[in-house]
């Protein structure tokens, strides 16, 4: 029965994605587009939501709101108990990141546990918000002690990436943009080894995310 339910979710998601970008932005121009960012301190303290809202509004010539359901220190356990708050906001787009704290050794969360949590989160979103666009993000690198505490973080990212594919969601990877910085630039941008300065987070995250959301509509 579980296999049949998963097949139904994947099939309905595939049909939604086949309609393309025109379906995703078919709302009347006077109707606001709501984006909900769902995540950890990288979202709660990130400072990139308002710049994202401004950039999307400027690009799309349409009302856009970007809201957050996020908490510092949150893991995918927290995501699972708070996903209904996201559902209640009825977003058009959900941007998700929950791997970073799951991957911390002091959290004692296995990749399998993280995967189960996120599969349930994505399943609830798909069932209750079938027309909502879901984007799972990989964020910034962790350096110094924060990186030492997350030796297997790439495996957690890979697991969440695979779930995005399984559920017909999108995966947006910010790591290549961060990789273009030198070591000195990276240290200055992420002084505590985990949380980028809001200005740098916005400079790295917003352009790529706007391009993904708008399918390159605002590319110069």
Q: Is the pLDDT of residue 209 over 90?
A: yes
pLDDT at 216: 83
Residues with Cβ within 8 Å of 158's Cβ and at least 6 positions away in sequence, in order, are: none
Q: How many CA atoms lie within 13 A of 89 on its CB side?
A: 20
Alpha carbons 42 and 164: distance in angstroms, whole number: 19
pLDDT at 7: 44
Residue 22 domain-assigned (yes or no): no
Is 33 in contact with 60 (CB distance < 8 Å)? yes
Alpha carbons 38 and 118: distance in angstroms, whole number: 12
Residue 124 domain-assigned (yes or no): yes
Query: Among 21-30, 87-96, 128-137, where is mean pLDDT lowest?
Result: 21-30
Q: Enter the pTM of the model.
A: 0.86
Residue 105 domain-assigned (yes or no): yes
Residue 90 domain-assigned (yes or no): yes
Residue 80 domain-assigned (yes or no): yes
Is 167 in contact with 9 (CB distance < 8 Å)? yes
pLDDT at 217: 80
Residue 14 domain-assigned (yes or no): no
C-alpha closest to that of 154 among 100, 74, 95, 75: 100
Give residue 199's domain range. 31-213
Give the pLDDT confidence of 170-193 residue by residue, as tens digits: 999 999 999 999 999 999 999 999
Give the pLDDT confidence of 52-94 residue by residue, as tens digits: 999 999 999 999 999 999 999 999 999 999 999 999 999 999 9
**For the chain, what is the domain count?**
1
Q: What is the CATH number of the domain that holds 146?
A: 3.40.50.1110
Alpha carbons 198 and 193: distance in angstroms, whole number: 14
Q: Is the pLDDT of residue 196 over 50?
A: yes
Q: Is the pLDDT of residue 126 over 60?
A: yes
Q: How far apart are the first and last CA of the chain?
A: 49
């Amino acid at each position: 029965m579980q296999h049949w339910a998963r097949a139904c979710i994947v099939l309905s998601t595939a049909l939604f994605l086949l309609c393309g970008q025109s379906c995703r932005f078919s709302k009347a121009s006077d109707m606001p587009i709501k984006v909900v960012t769902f995540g950890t301190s990288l979202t709660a303290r990130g400072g990139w939501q308002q710049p994202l809202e401004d950039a999307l509004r400027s690009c799309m010539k349409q009302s856009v709101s970007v809201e957050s359901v996020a908490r510092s220190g949150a893991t995918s356990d927290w995501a699972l108990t708070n996903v209904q708050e996201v559902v209640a906001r009825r977003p058009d787009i959900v941007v998700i990141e929950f791997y970073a704290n799951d991957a911390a050794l002091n959290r004692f969360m296995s990749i399998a546990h993280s995967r189960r949590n996120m599969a349930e989160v994505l399943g609830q979103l798909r069932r209750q918000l079938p027309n909502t666009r879901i984007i799972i993000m990989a964020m910034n690198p962790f350096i110094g002690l924060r990186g030492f505490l997350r030796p297997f973080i790439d495996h957690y990212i890979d697991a969440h990436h695979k779930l995005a594919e399984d559920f017909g969601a999108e995966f947006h990877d910010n790591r290549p943009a961060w990789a273009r910085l030198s070591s000195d630039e990276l240290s200055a941008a992420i002084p505590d080894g985990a949380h980028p300065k809001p200005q740098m987070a916005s400079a790295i995250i917003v352009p790529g995310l706007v391009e993904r959301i708008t399918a390159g509509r605002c590319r110069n």
